[in-house]
Amino acid sequence: MLNHGNAQLIAPSASPEEAGAIVAALERFRRATAAPAAPSLPAPHEWARAAMLEGVSNQAQGDVRDPWINT
């Protein structure tokens, strides 16, 4: 069983410069080991983009008595 009650600080705290250097090194490591970015998808056709933005469908809805009421 571990007893953490007797923990002691051996070295003094890092100076602001040392802390900044550690953060910079960690950031460089993170960027160097990051997964490559996924390839972007091709842009949709302009008419398809307009339809998606307007929320319309390209298929007929059948007999719609009142297109403004969805009941």
Give the global pTM. Answer: 0.39
Indicate the residue type of 17: E
pLDDT tens column, 31-67: 999 998 888 888 778 888 887 777 765 555 566 666 6
13 token code pair: 């705290």
pLDDT-based confidence at residue 1 (cuts at 50, 70, 90): very low
What are the structure tokens assigned to 42, written together? 């091709």
State the DSSP string of 11-43: SPPPPHHHHHHHHHHHHHHHHHHSPPPPPPPPP
- The pLDDT value given to residue 63: 60
Q: What is the pLDDT of residues 15-38, one digit of tens each?
A: 889 989 999 999 999 999 999 888
CA angle in degrees (0–180, nearest 5) for 49-43-53: 15
Distance in angstroms (rounded) separating the CA atoms of residues 58 and 68: 17
